[in-house]
């Protein structure tokens, strides 16, 4: 996996030619849940047979543990809890995940922050920052914006209308919001968005 990290690789180079057809079917759907189910079904179907490499199951269990425990903040804490040397943990993740354990820990915390925002209630971002082990709200905001493309407050406003899993619901929710957009580098593109709409 390490050789694929931080690279754009055409799916056809990794999977059977069927991947192009699956991609077209996913893009034709409007419902996010259906899109995810179709993608998951395809990916689960191309997994190598169980038992091919016993470390795959070991690393998958480690990743599952991290994602189930967003209270784990540091690699040394994780290594201590698992009774593994930090270097072994880092090598396993580099080889089988293509990312460091620190990156996976950070992503788990950001997923937890996004999940709380998705609940629809007002989020106390300062308290959530502390709950997730951030030094302060600014650190969470910076990490969140870098990963998601917008700060937490804008992300919360742009969530789909309650109960909606459709792309149209997400678009309608955004239309009802402030219309602000942030590109993948966190730059505000609101003016470009407004010009495009007129």
Provide the residue ranges of all domains of the chain, joining segments of one domain with +.
1-47, 104-197
Burial 166-192 (b: 16+ CB within 10 A, else e): beebbeebbeeeeebbbeeeeeeeeee
Provide the pLDDT for residue 135: 92
In sequence order, which residues have a C-beta less than 8 Å from that of residue 52 and are 6 or more positions away? Answer: none
Express each pLDDT in 28-69 by its tens digit: 999 989 999 999 999 888 877 777 788 888 888 889 989 888
Q: What are phi and psi of 29, to 5 degrees?
A: -80, 155
Provide the pLDDT for residue 1: 66
Rg (CA), the chain: 19
Express each pLDDT in 84-93 by its tens digit: 999 999 999 9
Provide the pLDDT for residue 160: 62
Average pLDDT over residues 6-16: 80
Within 10 Å of residue 152's Cβ, how many Cβ atoms? Answer: 23
Express each pLDDT in 75-132 by its tens digit: 999 999 889 999 999 999 998 888 999 999 999 999 999 888 888 668 899 999 999 9
In sequence order, which residues have a C-beta less than 8 Å from that of residue 71 and are 6 or more positions away? Answer: 133
């Amino acid at each position: 996996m390490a050789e694929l990290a931080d690279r754009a690789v055409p799916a056809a180079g990794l999977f059977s030619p069927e991947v192009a057809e699956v991609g077209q079917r996913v893009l034709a759907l409007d419902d996010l849940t259906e899109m995810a189910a179709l993608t998951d079904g395809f990916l689960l179907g191309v997994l190598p047979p169980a038992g091919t490499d016993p470390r795959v199951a070991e690393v998958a269990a480690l990743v599952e543990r991290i994602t189930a425990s967003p209270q784990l903040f540091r690699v040394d804490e994780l290594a201590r809890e698992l009774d593994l040397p930090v270097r072994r943990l880092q090598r396993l993740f580099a080889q089988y995940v293509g990312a460091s354990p620190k990156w996976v820990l950070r992503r788990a915390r950001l997923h937890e922050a996004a999940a709380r925002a998705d609940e629809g209630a007002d989020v106390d971002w300062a308290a959530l920052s502390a709950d997730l082990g951030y030094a302060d709200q600014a650190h969470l905001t910076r990490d969140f914006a870098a990963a998601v493309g917008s700060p937490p407050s804008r992300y919360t406003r742009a969530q789909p209308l309650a109960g909606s899993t459709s792309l149209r619901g997400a678009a309608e929710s955004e239309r009802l919001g402030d219309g602000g957009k942030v590109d993948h580098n966190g730059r505000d593109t609101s003016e470009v968005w407004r010009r495009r709409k007129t």
